[in-house]
Structures are given as C-alpha cells and as structure tokens.
Chain A
C-alpha cells in the first residue's frame, strides 16, 4: 500500500534537509496592466542569508510570495532544488516557512497554540513533547511570559518574535522573512537581526529576507539584491554593493534630502 500524502509530508518534515538552493529564472509578475516584477534572475545558494532590498512598492514582497509559492509568476519560474515553487507538491517535499510582515498570527489562538499549531496539525510529536518544544522555543526568544496571551495583547516587537518562533516550530528546510524589522525600534530591530543570523548559524537554513533596512542587510546578509521598480539593479555582498556605481543603487543606500527641492517648496506654499 502506498504512503499517504499526510504521512509523506510528516516524514519530509521530520527528515530535515537544509541543503536548499533557490533559482529565480526570468521571473515577471504583473497585476492587470501593472508590471510589478520584471525579468528577475537570481540564484540563492544553500545556507545563505540573502537580503532583497528596495523601496516600498519595488516588488520585493511579490518576489518573496513567488518564492513561497503563494503567487505564480506570469513569466519565468522559481525553482527550489530544481522543483517549481508554485507547485504545492514542491512545498510538501521541501518544508519552507515564511515570517509575514504583520506576523499573520492566528488571532483566535494563544501564543502557545500558535506555536503548537504546526506540529499538532501534522501530528509530529506527542502532546507532551510539543509542549516541551513550544516552551523551549518561547524561552529562547524571551517570550515565555507571553505563552498564554493572545496576539492582540502583544506589542509589535513581540508579535514579530512570536512569528519567528512559530516559523522555527515548523522545522523548515528554508525560511523567508518579509520586512522582519519594519515598525520596530532600533534595539528590537537589532535583536531580530541577531535572531535571523542565529537561526541560520544554528540550523544552516537558506534564509531569504525582504527588507528596506540597511543596518539589517549590512549586518547579517551574505549577499544583497537591490530591486527598483520591479527590476533587479544589483546583486553582491554588502561590502561590494555599497561601492556599486549605479546611481539608483546609491540613491537607495545613501539617500539625501534636499530641502531646496521644488517639491518641498510647493508643500510650503500650500
């Protein structure tokens, strides 16, 4: 008798294979007439922390959704270990997880139940083992006091940490972060950056981070990609990308505010 889909999924989750390579090949995405991502080619190596940067609306979160399999590109393909990321079957083989920008925590469940959700649904462990693992994960992220709170009772920083904790409970082979430090104070942003780096160092997970936070990118990235209006401008190490001659890259990394800009003058007169 063949192995059931659920059993195969459970086996794949428990057999952690962190050797995950992502190939983004000629990916284009458009919503109606609006082209959001245009012909992007990137290869992300196993175990790498790859940060995708760009201004708001540049198309980085859309690209991340393509990698996560939540969105199918109009053109091109995202491959995870050679398999099409837009097929659910790929994510049954390679267990990936995504830390959403706003956390996407289940609002009707407590923090504990949010973390226990994945192992319970896939029947990975006994309830006593799940409890042990959840409490341990909460302790690592200094969230043990929040175990029985509901997400609405948490601050922005705590929600982000709970979202990361929930992602860790998924025992993923690769992890994606969507704007992990947005709306956080510099201290909390630095804590989250440390957590991302530690997760990679401890588990060797391929990590894709979408952010517009330069400190995060310079601090933890192995390589950085800059996207501008849906197009890839540059991919390089944080050190090299800071020296990139492309003026659009420099404008993004080192923005200057010119108060004599006619736009501001116009604001003054209105």
Chain B
C-alpha cells in the first residue's frame, strides 16, 4: 500500500480522483446559488471586484507590449496597419484568458487554499462535519459558482483593455504612430465573435479548474501551520501547470 502511495503515477491518479470526488460532492449543492445567494455574491465580490483593478492594469500593459513588439516587426515589413489584428487575435484567443487565469491562480486561488487549509489545520472543517454542515456546500460550491459567473466577464474586460492598450501604444509610440481608426478597423476586419467566445470558454474552464484545485488543496491539507504555506505553493503551481497544459488542447480543439 505504501509502495503504491509513493508511486508518482499512483499519486497523480489519486489527486485526479480527489478533484473529481470533490467536484461530484460539490455539484450536489449546485442549488446554493438560489438558496444562499449572499455566499455566492460575497465570493463574486472577492473574486471579481477586488481582482478587477489588477486585471485591468496587467491587460493594458500586455496589449501595450504586444503592440510594441508587433509594431517593431510590422514596421520593417511596411504592414503596420495589421497591428490591430495581431493584438486583437492574440489577446482574445490566448493572452487575455490565460493571463486572467494566472492572476486568478496567484491572487484568488492562493487565498482560497490558505483559508481552507487554515480551517482544516485548526479543526474548523471537522467542526463543520460535526455540525452536519457540508464544507462543499458552504465553502466550495459558492466559490465555483463565482468562477462560473465571473470568468467570462473578467476575460472580456481583459480582452477589451488589451485592445485599448494596444491602440494607445500604436498611436503614441514614435516608430508606429498608427491612427486609432486604422487600428480598430483592422481589428474589426479580422476578429469575429467566435474568437472572443473561444477566449471566454478558455477563461471559464481555467477559472473553474483554478477554484477546484485551490479548494481541494486546502481541504486536503494535513499537519501543522507550516503545511498551509506548502499547500498554497502547490495550489498555485498545480493551477498554472493545469492552465498551460489544458490551454494547448483547448486551442487545438478550437482550431
């Protein structure tokens, strides 16, 4: 038995099983969005409203850097007007959803793991079990709902701010100086709704997974306070690996 647990492959499948079990148990409380809306709204506030400023700032600079790099190459090819499509497509399909998911893993996922791990280590989760209150009902499902509701909004805001950042840089940087009309027209010519929808689907999958990974890591923490820090690290690292790994397959499926 010990040999089995020390086997990394067995460990991997054990973790996958834990996540699926947590998801299954949590889905049994999917009704909390109707029965306990304040809990979902509170998580939406933490996950969405508080993350919005940092998502906006980072999205702006990602759009800006994209425009800068694209402008450098495209100016040499004398096709500067394509900056709009370059920034538009890359941010909508890839960078905005992945960046939002990374931010969610670093900012929200880590906080969720720290909170639940602390509750586990200090027996608060046991106290919930004793009171016949399921942790999935009051701790996991409201957070999953918040991710389901918010991720499409967060990703669309990130996409729009990326585009805006690109437009501003394209207009004001000396060696580019592309008028906003050309930038936005080119972006409109190349971007279709499916591109934005694909990005939103990615963000939705990533956000849901980040919250699930964070909750599972928190609820399976054992040991003393030191393990809380270890759990937070594992949660963020596992989320990022999941995002990058899954991104490849979703991108391939969306082509």
Chain A: residues with CB nearer than 8 A to chain B? 9, 32, 68-70, 88, 91-92, 95-98, 100-102, 104-107, 117-118, 121-122, 170
Contacts and interface: CB of A to CB of B under 8 A. Distances in A.
A122 B127 contact: no
Contacts of B124: 104-107
Interface of A is mostly: loop
Contacts of A32: 2
Interface in B50-84: none
Interface stretch (B131-139, B166-174, B177-185): B131-139
Interface in B118-144: 118-119, 122-124, 126-127, 129-133, 138
Contacts of B129: 69-70, 88
Contact of A70 (B2, B130, B132, B133): B130
B138 A104 contact: no
A104 B123 contact: yes
Contacts of B118: 107
A68 B133 CA distance: 14
Contact of B127 (A91, A92, A95, A104): A104
A70 B122 contact: no
A68 B130 CA distance: 7
Nearest to A121: B133
A117 B131 CA distance: 9
B29 to A, nearest CB: 11
Nearest to B127: A104
A269 to B, nearest CB: 33
Nearest to B1: A32
17 contacts: A68-B130, A88-B129, A96-B130, A97-B131, A98-B127, A100-B126, A100-B127, A101-B123, A102-B123, A104-B122, A104-B124, A106-B127, A107-B124, A117-B133, A121-B131, A121-B138, A122-B133
